Amino acid sequence: MNLPQKIEDALARELNNIDNDFIENSLNLSFLQASKALLESNIDCTFSGSTCVLTLIIGNKIWTANAGDSRAVLCQLDIENNWISKQLTRDHKPNELDEFARIIQRGGRVESYKDENNNHLGPCRVWLKNQNIPGLAMSRSFGDVIASQVGVICEPEIFQYEIQNSDKFIIIASDGVWEFIQNQNVMELIIPSYLNNQIQKACENIINESVFQWKL
């Protein structure tokens, strides 16, 4: 199943007559429709799912919508030729105050993994109240049926940004990148390839560095 295509198709249907007043509702609806299509497919989503982040550019505005811990980062070049990274989305982690509150209210539990000696290891995760499942390290996603029973949702968080002359490009990547490389460092990896219009090379550089950092 092509989940990004499902979102794109749903969004296209909603934005046939573009009106800024309805963009946020359209983004929300596109996520809900994609989630419904996923859950009605033959894919087993009991313990599996996906994050999503998208950008929608209309005129001089950028809309971002995300569910999970994938991220969109805007890269700017200021008048003094300094490169600046600006995060356009918020990572949905279960220890964020609002995310934590929703999960607890829905009967879930938020804590990091415990080893055999009861030592806490790694990031905070979402668990059923009385069972050590599913252990999801994010608070919003598509699929993840078990986690959705205790407050993990697919509803996107939406932000709007007005495009500036200094804006050059946007990086969209999953936490497989951001967990290991800071926003500014990812941008710096891309700049040489961006200046030479080598987009494929830029992506390869990010992947290679992420894998390298993961293995350390």
- Domain of residue 48, CATH code: 3.60.40.10
Report in angstroms the alpha-carbon separations of 128 from 67, 96, 148: 20, 18, 10
> Is the pLDDT reported for residue 174 higher than 70?
yes
- Unique residue bearing structure tokens 């919003």: 140
Task: Describe the strand order of the beta sheet including 83-87 as a list of residue ranges.
Answer: 83-87, 71-77, 167-173
Is 130 found in the same domain as 43? no
Q: pLDDT per residue over 77-105, tens digit each? A: 999 999 999 999 999 999 999 999 999 99
Give the count of domains, the chain.
3
Amino acid identity at 46: T
Is 102 found in the same domain as 140? yes
Question: For the chain, what percentages of helix, strand and coil (3-state, to nearest 5) are there?
Answer: 35, 30, 30
Q: How confident is the model at residue 5 (pLDDT cuts 50, 70, 90)?
A: confident
Is 161 found in the same domain as 65? yes
Is 11 found in the same domain as 86? yes
Is 81 found in the same domain as 26? yes
Is 166 found in the same domain as 84? yes
Range of the domain at 107: 97-148
In this prediction, residue 181 carries a pLDDT of: 98
Give the pairing of strands 157-162 and 61-67.
Answer: antiparallel
Q: How confident is the model at residue 110 (pLDDT cuts 50, 70, 90)?
A: very high
Q: How far apart are CA 200 and CA 92, in angstroms?
A: 28
